[in-house]
Structure 1
Amino acid sequence: MSSYKSYKTERLILEPTSNKDAEFILELLNTPKWIKYIGDRNVHSIEDAKNYIQHKMLPQLKKLGYANYTVITKSAKIKIGTCGLYNREGIDGIDIGFAFLPKYENNGFAFEAANKLIKTAFEELAIPKINAITTKKNFRSQKLLLKLGLKFNEIIKLPNDNEKLLLYTLNK
Structure 2
Amino acid sequence: MILRPVSLDDGAFILDLYNRPKFIQFIGDRNLKTGADAENYIKNRFFPQMEKLGFGNYLMVTKEGNQKIGAVGIFEREGLDVVDIGFSLLDEFEGKGYAYEAAFKIKSIGMDDFGLKKISAITTKDNFSSQKLIEKLGLKFQRIVTIPGDTEELMYYESE
What pairs with 1:116-135 in structure 2 (closer than 5 Å)?
116-135=105-124
Runs of 4+ residues deviating >6 angstroms: none
Which of 96, 101, 104 is the matching residue for 2:85? 96
Code of the residue aligned with 2:17 in structure 1: it is L
| One-letter amino acid of the counterpart of residue 102, structure 1 | D
Q: Distance in 2 between matches of 1:90 and 1:49?
A: 24
1:4 counterpart residue number:
none
Paired residues in the alignment total 160
Q: Which runs of 5+ in 2 are unaligned?
A: none
Identity score, percent? 48
- What CA RMSD, in Å, does the superposition of the two structures yield over aligned residues? 0.6
The CA distance in 1 between the partners of 2:116 and 2:82, in whole Å, is 8
Secondary structure of the 2:159 match is: strand
Determine the structure 2 residue equivalent to 1:33. Answer: 22
Which blocks of at least 5 consecutive residues in structure 1 are unaligned?
1-11
Distance in 2 between residues matched to 1:46 and 1:160, nearest whole Å: 26
Is 2:156 the partner of 1:167? yes
Structure 1 CA distance for aligned equivalents of residues 88 and 75 of structure 2: 14
Query: For 2:123, what is the secondary structure of its paired residue?
Result: strand
Partner of 1:66: 55
Q: TM-score, normalised by structure 2?
A: 0.98
Residue 40 of structure 1 aligns to a residue in which SS?
A: coil
Give per-residue Cα distances to partners, 1:55-99, cap 9 Å, x unaligned.
111110011110000110011100000000001111111100000
